[in-house]
Structure 1
Amino acid sequence: MQEARELFEAVRADEADLEHLYAQVAVEGPPTVRRAAVDVNSALGEFDGAVMGCLHALESDNACTADDLADLDVKRDKSYAAYLDFLDVASRTLSTDGITRKSE
């Protein structure tokens, strides 16, 4: 259990840098990239909350229920899909030069 908490906290330690990068994209990025960034940030927040809920339950000597674990899987998959979508949108948008490659 201690190892799970340490790993979770290590991920959280990098959060400040990620939040700064997210803010830059959300404020200065092209509209399609901003929307994708907001979507991935929202999905990751939901996943983070589900992970925190399971960690808290385990630390309180309770078990995560099968429904909790299934919800965790769904939120993990949703956040990963949003991340891949963000990468795709950013790649397509940033590779558009207006001459050889037009915007979609």
Structure 2
Amino acid sequence: MILVDSFEWDEIDRLYDRLKNIGDRNLNTVAEAGQRGAAHLRQAEIEAEAGTIIVPVNCSQQLYDVVAVTDARAGMDEVDKRVMHITLVHNPKRGEYFQRLGLGRV
């Protein structure tokens, strides 16, 4: 049995620890287990910083695109975010037609 610990220290300082045990009998070396831990931390990092923006409809917008967000009210100046989900909203009664983009870290 191979055991490896992986940590994201900045997130632990910010939010305390959240433990998750991942078991995989196909991992044969410590290096493979370390890579699995790093991949899990990377996926958690991408999903952790969630945010939503509303934009005009853009037919070329795709999942996992990197977009630069600028909003002086939020103190953001060309902050790169990754598109994690796209929702098209059409409300003819209110004359609304826009996209809601769910964002994550790059």
- Using structure 2 for the length normalisation, give the TM-score: 0.26
- Using structure 1 for the length normalisation, give the TM-score: 0.27
Quick check: which one's helix share is greater?
1
Quick check: which one's strand share is greater?
2
Q: Which has the higher contact order (CA 8 A, sep 6+)?
A: 1
